[in-house]
Amino acid sequence: MATLGTLASGLGHDLRNLVMPVLLRLDVVAATTDLPEKARMDLASIRQSILRLQRLAGGLRLLATDPFDQRDESQLTKLPDWWADLQPIVVDALSPHATVEATIEADLPVVAVPPGTLAQILINLVMNSRQAMEHTAQPRLTLRARAEDGRVLLDVDDNGSGMDQETRRRCFEPYFTTRARGYATGLGLSTGRALMNRYGGDLVLGEEQEIGTTFTLVIPVRVQTPLVEGTPKRVRLMVGDPRQLAMLRLIIRHRGFEELPITSTEGAHLTICDVDTLPRVLNGSVSTATNGSVNSIIAIGTPRPEPTPDAIRWVDPRDFSVLDDVLH
């Protein structure tokens, strides 16, 4: 499996390197003046195919990451995008006449498990389902995600041969397998559950059902500690350095905060400024309080000799990771 992972990683990387040049060239061709309508439609169709290929490359890359060391990966997953990357691979992993139905709504909350981890657990479930559906006339895999109590429950259901009592009892045991000796087993249910537990989630076998088997991934939703009670959390950025600004915008976007335009007269819950703009913030020339409550001020830089109110938190601009922690 490690070899396959390495191959998948390389393949995913190579595919991506090919996709971007094609997209660029498509733009160039599409800019040709007096392009016939049919050609324009053909180009649009080619672009859609290439974007799907890009998704596939993304999915392959997810499968190639090390599920035990995801430190370099994003710790959050947007399930609809994640599924878009994986769907072609899941379809390919099943037999050609199998159908895949998925209900993964766009408004699901962001979950706090790396996409690669979820991908590998899912593929393991899919491979088990494939084996179970080997003699099923119309094999069908169904995925359904729903948000509930700070978690997203992802049901993975097949209409295969199901599991006997002993298998149901033992399926999470390490090394337990119903496959023929020598068959590659991939991640395993035991490992899959342990990985989910690591993130505060779980992998659960569903109730016995008449046909097939259902597993549920219990996936914790991203926790966002609000800075101020009540929503929405509005932030005003008054930072001159464009790079600091870009970083702050990224962090704020990930936290789900709302950035107020500088010209807005609405009050902010939090103002982030630098040493140059701090005086304007302090003398009240910029509206910072909302509903009479005291707002928080984060200043980027080194404190000047003049005393400043204690309410200000100072952050060293050389270390944006601290900023991330401060906002959390």
CB under 8 A: which stretch of 51-59, 130-138, 264-272, 295-303 binds another protein?
51-59
What is the 8-class DSSP label of residue 96? T
Q: Classify the C-alpha dihedral 50-52-55-60 as positive or negative.
A: negative
Q: What is the DSSP string of 183-208?
A: ---TT-HHHHHHHHHHTT-EEEEPPP
Spatial distance between the Cα atoms of 148 and 19, rounded to a whole number of angstroms? 38
Binding map of another protein across residues 72-101, x = CB under 8 A, - = no contact: xxxx--x--x--------------------
CA 39 to chain centre: 36
Closest to another protein by CB, 43 vs 153, is 43
The one-letter code for the residue type at 148 is E
CB of 124 to another protein, least distance (A): 23
Question: Among residues 71, 97, 135, 181, which is the contact residue for another protein, using CB under 8 A?
Answer: 71
Confirm or reject binding of residue 49 to another protein (CB under 8 A): no
- Name the token pair of 27: 């733009």
- Tell which residue, 95, 49, 67, 50, has the closest CA to residue 8: 67
Closest to another protein by CB, 22 vs 228, is 22
Which of positions 206-265 make contact with another protein (CB under 8 A)? 242-243, 245-247, 249-250
SS3 for 135? Answer: coil
CB of 23 to another protein, least distance (A): 4
Structural contact between residues 53 and 17, judged by C-beta atoms closer than 8 angstroms: no
CB of 52 to another protein, least distance (A): 13
CB under 8 A: which stretch of 48-56, 122-130, 191-199, 223-231 binds another protein?
48-56
User: Could you tell me how many residues of this chain bind another protein (CB under 8 A)?
Assistant: 49
Sheet with 140-148, edge to edge strand ranges: 99-103, 140-148, 151-158, 213-220, 202-205
Which of positions 10-39 make contact with another protein (CB under 8 A)? 12-13, 16-18, 20-28, 30-32, 35, 37
Structural contact between residues 98 and 141, judged by C-beta atoms closer than 8 angstroms: yes
- Name the token pair of 289: 């309080």
Closest to another protein by CB, 202 vs 258, is 258
Interacting residue ranges for another protein, rule: CB under 8 A: 12-13, 16-18, 20-28, 30-32, 35, 37, 40-41, 43-44, 47-48, 51, 54, 57-58, 61, 71-75, 78, 81, 242-243, 245-247, 249-250, 318-321, 324
